[in-house]
Every structure is written in structure tokens, then in C-alpha cells.
Chain A
Amino acid sequence: MATPAPVSAPAFDLSARFPGIASPDTRPGYSGWVIPKENLPEVAAALRDELGFDYLSHVTGVDYLPEGKMEVVYQFYKTTGGPGLSLKVQVPRQDPIEVPSIVSIYPGAEFQEREVWDLFGIRFTGHPDLRRILMWEGFEGHPLRKDWKEAYYEEDIKPFKSRWPEGKHVPAEDKTPFGDNVTYPDGFDAEKWIPEDPEKALYGALARYQVQDETGLGTEHVIVNIGPQHPSTHGVFRVAAILDGETIVSLKPVMGYLHRNHEKIGERNTYLMNMPFTDRLDYLSSMSNNFGYALTVEKLMNIKPPERAEYIRVMMAEMTRISNHLMAIGALTNDLGAYFTPMLYSLEERELILDIFEAVAGSRMMCNYFRFGGVVRDLPEGIPEKIKGLFFERLPRRIDELERFLSENEIVRSRGIGQGVLTAEDAIRYSASGPLLRASGIPYDVRRAEPYSIYDRFDFEVCVRPNGDIYDRLMIRFDEIRQSIRIVQQAVRGLPEGPVMAVKPAYTVRVPPGEAYGRVEGPKGELGFYIISNGKPSPWRYHVRAPSFINLTSFGPMCIGQKVADLVAVLGSIDIVLGEVDR
């Protein structure tokens, strides 16, 4: 919702339960609770067991360089719905920075704590496997710290002064020739350096599993790497697994091959410049990314888009969900060995949706269509009719056909039913979201749990499937497509006339100081943006809660005990996009 003022009363009084420990965050524009780091495990356990905040949405760090502080921010929700609770731990900015890990209480924090360690250099004591996750082992420095500078560093924030009025084009690679953009630590001699095996830590972590062998026969386990270049990993993604015969006994995903430090770029950019960059996160559903980002900044600015813009936004977000799910269905069946037939059938329908995006936003995938306070432009002539034709006449029929094509197919059923099961408890524990969570029987949908925009006006159901296996995760995407078609039908029928921007379009926006966490139900799950403004043209902290990344936390546990061939199907059923995983 874009309405509430940035300063809002805490939804829940934590200081009553923890007197003297939890104190409200009183900085202007901030909310939530600050606790000492020693009490974190105790408070986290109470939140989960006593107070019902069973879902850890995201963990991230903030570097307050001028104040000499580091902060770790935790955001909790209840899977029964309602507002969230944010918890902050502040530590002095002096290495070694240590904060207790909460992985034993919320296993969903595993990858996120690794990310905070990697990018901020905050050590989580008690973390079972604290390695770098996005950068490689041996990387020097922690990139999201404010005093860390990248190889082609020019200035702290854009726009760069070298562009105008005395701009002369110089290719970046000429300014910093290869070899000159490297800095070595003091006393480092590259000639004498013998690197440690970079995979040692990974294989060491992989090898920590319990051997359960009832036969008493000694069998040799083998390490198998799938990817980073492998057609079934949906991008540059690697899976390292230990196999006992064909059975997976231990598995770790390895990511970061597409890492470009999106968040650092975001902190160099002005608020508006970030909009096209969000397109490139989950590039299959850019409209949804735009939505989440626009919503968060609007929360900080305390503005609300006009009615017509809200309807257009909802339509676009639901259309992007359909196109994303069609792609997910196609890719998963492709992984199951159906080759290209279902993939091409679903791509055909996706193409028609992308045609609408192209006519409306100017680009098929990199839409860049949302602005703070509305959308770029009104729907061009003839587009509402085109949407009506597609959503009332063609798509419902075609989705039925695609479901008839796949749902009863014996190969799909035998590869899917009972395979790669994620139980409801585990789905919550591992912070799974989106179709992955709902296919495990948890009817949690941000559009209903904490309605944003105008979703409270539409009639749709939160899809849920009980079994949590690959087949359910495939079928729930059909269910969700049908619900999205319903929403688009209602929105296009009720589309009001009027302006599409609440404020005068401007390339510089004034964002008051404060923090905001905005989230939308993206096609892949809860897509959140955590933004801290200090009143300057660029955000001080810009964090993306990427659903693909956090959904991967449950990938390992889902695969243990499966055959290696099912690994591909399990990964396909999670539906990841590496642009978002690696950021």
C-alpha cells in the first residue's frame, strides 16, 4: 500500500516482552526494534515460537560509514498474514564484526547470512557453512561497504562530471587498461603466491553429511558438478553434489557467476536510474520488478498513483505473471525431457503478451514502464481491445489446452508426483515463497496477506496445492495463470479514465530520509525492496529481496535422497532466473 506515512507505529510492542532489551528504532523515518546482538538468538526464538512470526522474509546489512556502525536488519512475517516486524542489530564498524547466526532457528537465513558476510564482512558466529556466496573464495574486500571501490570506479554517485559539458568519449577499458585495475594487499607478491584450491572449502562443506548405510557395505561416494555451463541450470549456475550410486547424499548450489553487484550500482544511481536496472533482475518479469521498486519509493515519498495508473499497473503485473509462469511450465517440461513441444506452445502465448508490453512500454522484456507516482504513458490506442481479445477469447482456451497436454501425461506424472517433496513446515523454515510455498500447502500470497496497490478490489483465489512435489509445483502455475487471467479481465473491464501520473514527471525526485521495505507478490515469490534514504538523490542502501535466490535455500534439502536425474526437475520446478539469484 502506498498510503501509510513513512513513520508508522510498530505493529507489535516487543519491549513489553523484552523489557530493557528491545528498544524502538527512533531515527526519523525508521521503524522496528533495535536489540543487542547477544540477545538475538533468544529474541528470534521467541518471535518464532511465542509470537507467531514464523517466516523470516529477509536478512541484510547496512553500512553506516559516517556513524561508524554496521547494522543487520531482519524482517519477519506471520504466514497467517498481517504486517511484519523488523529487528535490527547494531555493531561497531571495526573488524572483526561479529553477530550471532540465527540459521539454527530460521534455516532460511543460511544463504542470506552468507551474502551479508560476503558483501559486508559481518561474521555470523555459529553459522554452519559461512563461505562467500556471490564473490569467489579469495576475493579481497567486501564490495557493499561504502569505502570499497570497484575496478572502473569513477565517482560515488551518478551523474558523472566527465559526461557534460566537456564530455569526450573514452572507452572504460582505455581509462583502466587490463592489469592496472588490480590492487594487491600490502606485502603480497604475485610471483610467489601459490593459491589454495578454491574448491576446498566448497567440497569440505559438501562432505559434512551423515552417512546412513544400513547394508553395512562400504561404498565410495563421488562428487559430481553440474554446470556452470549446463542447459538445465537455466543460466550460469552450478550444482555440486555428492552421490551414493545415483542417489544424492549432499548438495550445494554454487552461484555468483552473473554477479554484477546490482545493489552497489543501485547505490551509485539516482532513484529514477534504478528503474531500468530493476528490469534486469528477473528479466522474465520486469513489470513486477518495476512494481516492487516503484511501490517502495512511493512509500518513502508518501505519494499514491492515480486510479487509472493503479489499474494499468495491476494488469501489467498479472500479465507478467502469466508470461513468467508459461515460461516456467515450458522450461520445466523441457527439463523433464519433453523436448521443445510444450515449451513452444507456451512461448506462443507468452509472445502475444510480450507484444502488448512492446506496444505499451516500448520493449518486450526490459519494460521500464513504472514511475514514482504512476506509469510512463497511457495505454496506446487499441491496446485495451487487444488485451480483451487475448484474455477473454484466446488465453483461457489455450491454457486449458496446455493443461490437457501435460497434466495427465504419464511421464510428467511419474517424474513429478512424490518427487522432490518440500513439506509445509520446511517451506516456511527455509523462507520459501511464491508458488514454491503455496504448492507445499501454505496459502500465503502477499496480494492477500498484506494487500498493496488495489488488489483488495479484485476477486481471485490464493492457489494452493497440498503435496509439495514437482507435479504440484507444475500444476499450481496453471492455477495461478487462471487467477491472473481473472484479475486482468476484471481490471480491463473496470479500467477508469483519468491521468496516469500523480505528480509532474521529473528526473530528480525528493525522497525524505527514512527506510522502507516494500514487497509485491512477484511471479517467483515475495519480491521485496529495502531502501534507506538519507535525503540525497541516491539511496544510501538499496537491497533486493530476490525470491529466486532465497527459494534456492530449500533446493539442497529437497534433493537429498533423490536420484541425480531428478535434480534437474527439482531445479526446474523452483523456477529461478539467474539475473535475480546473482544480482
Chain B
Amino acid sequence: MSEEMFGKGILKSLSVSLKRFVETYLDDLKWLGRRYRTAEGITHRGSKDGRGIFTVQYPEEKIPVPEEFRFVPFLVYDEGPDGEKIMRCTSCGICSRVCPPQCIWITRTTDPVTGRPIPDPAEFYIDADICMNCGLCAEYCPFDAIKMDHDYELASFGRNVFDKARLSKPASYYEEIRPVNAARENAARAAKEAARAAPKEG
């Protein structure tokens, strides 16, 4: 290299680092301890105005996940008047057909007398180790029965093959993690039911 080097560029680089270093303490002072382990502190650090220390100390601190965040699916059930679980799933099999890594296994229930299928799965397995969290099952389920979860802490010592009991979660949980989506879907379902009821009256 022919150009002369006096270390001016390195000093310039160091000045940037120094500025960042000082900023860290200035921002800490400004927030007086509220910057860490508080919800507003975490939000501030990850916002466009965040300066200084950016890291979030997981697991003591956790970044809130957005509504659309998706992790391994779960099955939604409605709670009946006596607290019984009414599965929304009709075991139509769309989720298992659309699943890219084919990690959903469903056994359909058949009526022992007539031999006809009953719209309730006898068995429902998701191999969470194979699941790629793409969300296609939830996207194309016509009954709002399978939804993507927000619980991402799945570490275990064995294989994560989830059966029906492990997958089932109440509709209230779904409304809690995805309020906007749940409200929209509930409204759409109510409208559909109203439309189905309307011709009878007329």
C-alpha cells in the first residue's frame, strides 16, 4: 500500500468506540436503574431511541414477543358450561396435508356402530423436533382449531413428541396471546353462524 499512515483513522475509530462507551453510562444515569429489569426499560433499549447497552439479560429479562410471533402449534378447545373441553378440531386433516416437514399425525375417530368418522381426533401428534414453525397449519385451518404458540422454552432431555393432551390449550389462552387475531376470528365465526341461522327465520 502506497498511502502514508499516521494512525489518524484508528484514532477516529477509537473515538467512535469512546463515544459509545460514554453513552452507556449517560443513558444509565438518565434512567437511574429503571433501564434494567423493567418492561419500559427493555422496550426503550430495543427502540429507535435506544442508546448504550443493548443486550437483554435472558432469562432474567425477556423481550416481549409480538402478537404474530409463532412457535410450535397447539390445539384450541372451548370450555363448555361444565368445564368440559370441546375440541375445535374436526380431524379434517388439512393441517397434516399442508405441513411441509410432515410432522403432524392424526388418527380420526370412527363411530364403532356405524363406522362413520366423528369430527373429533382420537389422537393428534406433533413432533416438535421436526416442526419448522412455519405456521402453515394455523394459516389454513378452517376451524381456527390449530394455532401457533408463544411459548418458546421447549428445551428438554428427550424428544419433543407432543400428544393431544400436551397440545390442547383453552381458547382463553389463545385470546390472551393473540387478542387482535382472536377478536377478528370470533367476529367472523359469529357472523357465519348468524348467516346460517338467518335463512331459517326467513
Residues of A that sit less than 8 Å from B by CB = 158-160, 162-169, 171, 269, 272-277, 341, 345, 348, 351-352, 355, 358-363, 366, 368, 376-377, 380-381, 386, 389-390, 393-394, 401, 404-414, 417-418, 505, 507
Tell me the smallest distance from the CB of A333 to a CB of chain B, in Å.
10
CA distance in complex: A368, B137 (Å)? 13
Residue on A nearest B181 in the bound complex, by CB? A377
Known interface pairs A273-B98, A360-B68. Does A166 touch B108 (Cβ–Cβ under 8 Å)?
Answer: yes
Residues of B114-129 at the interface with A, using a CB-CB cut-off of 8 Å, are 117, 123, 125, 127
Known interface pairs A351-B54, A355-B46, A366-B133. Does A167 touch B16 (Cβ–Cβ under 8 Å)?
Answer: no
Set B8, B48, B148, B161: member contacting A393, Cβ < 8 A: B48
Chain A residues near B70 (CB, 8 Å)? Answer: 362-363
Cross-chain contact B12 with A408 (CB below 8 angstroms): yes
CA distance in complex: A303, B102 (Å)? 28
Cross-chain contact A351 with B46 (CB below 8 angstroms): yes
CA distance in complex: A412, B9 (Å)? 9
CA distance in complex: A394, B54 (Å)? 14
Chain A residues near B96 (CB, 8 Å)? Answer: 159, 163-164, 167
Residues of B39-69 at the interface with A, using a CB-CB cut-off of 8 Å, are 46-49, 54, 65-69
Known interface pairs A165-B106, A366-B133. Does A401 touch B16 (Cβ–Cβ under 8 Å)?
Answer: yes
Interchain Cβ contacts within 8 Å, total number: 151
Please classify how large the interface on chain B is, using the bins under 10, 10 to 19, 20 to 34, 35 or more.
35 or more
Cross-chain contact B102 with A160 (CB below 8 angstroms): yes
Residues of B1-53 at the interface with A, using a CB-CB cut-off of 8 Å, are 1, 3, 5, 7-10, 12-13, 16-17, 20, 46-49
Chain B residues near A360 (CB, 8 Å)? Answer: 68
Chain A residues near B99 (CB, 8 Å)? Answer: 159, 163, 273
Set A163, A376, A394, A404: member contacting B48, Cβ < 8 A: A394
Tell me the smallest distance from the CB of B108 to a CB of chain A, in Å.
4
Known interface pairs A165-B93, A276-B100, A390-B48. Does A366 touch B132 (Cβ–Cβ under 8 Å)?
Answer: yes
CA distance in complex: A341, B127 (Å)? 40
CA distance in complex: A418, B3 (Å)? 12
Residues of B64-94 at the interface with A, using a CB-CB cut-off of 8 Å, are 65-70, 91, 93-94
Chain A residues near B161 (CB, 8 Å)? Answer: 169, 171
Set B16, B97, B125, B135: member contacting A159, Cβ < 8 A: B97
Known interface pairs A362-B69, A417-B1. Does A348 touch B54 (Cβ–Cβ under 8 Å)?
Answer: yes
Chain A residues near B186 (CB, 8 Å)? Answer: none
Tell me the smallest distance from the CB of A569 to a CB of chain B, in Å.
14
Chain A residues near B1 (CB, 8 Å)? Answer: 413-414, 417-418
Tell me the smallest distance from the CB of A356 to a CB of chain B, in Å.
9
Answer whether residue B143 sits at the interface, using C-beta atoms and an 8 A cutoff: no
Known interface pairs A380-B180, A404-B12, A410-B5. Does A363 touch B133 (Cβ–Cβ under 8 Å)?
Answer: yes
CA distance in complex: A386, B105 (Å)? 40
Cross-chain contact B107 with A165 (CB below 8 angstroms): yes
CA distance in complex: A412, B3 (Å)? 13
Residue on B nearest A393 in the bound complex, by CB? B48
Chain B residues near A160 (CB, 8 Å)? Answer: 102
Cross-chain contact A168 with B105 (CB below 8 angstroms): yes
Chain B residues near A368 (CB, 8 Å)? Answer: 134-136
Set A355, A381, A410, A418: member contacting B7, Cβ < 8 A: A410
Cross-chain contact A169 with B180 (CB below 8 angstroms): no
Chain B residues near A409 (CB, 8 Å)? Answer: 9-10, 12-13
Cross-chain contact A169 with B159 (CB below 8 angstroms): no
Cross-chain contact A165 with B91 (CB below 8 angstroms): yes
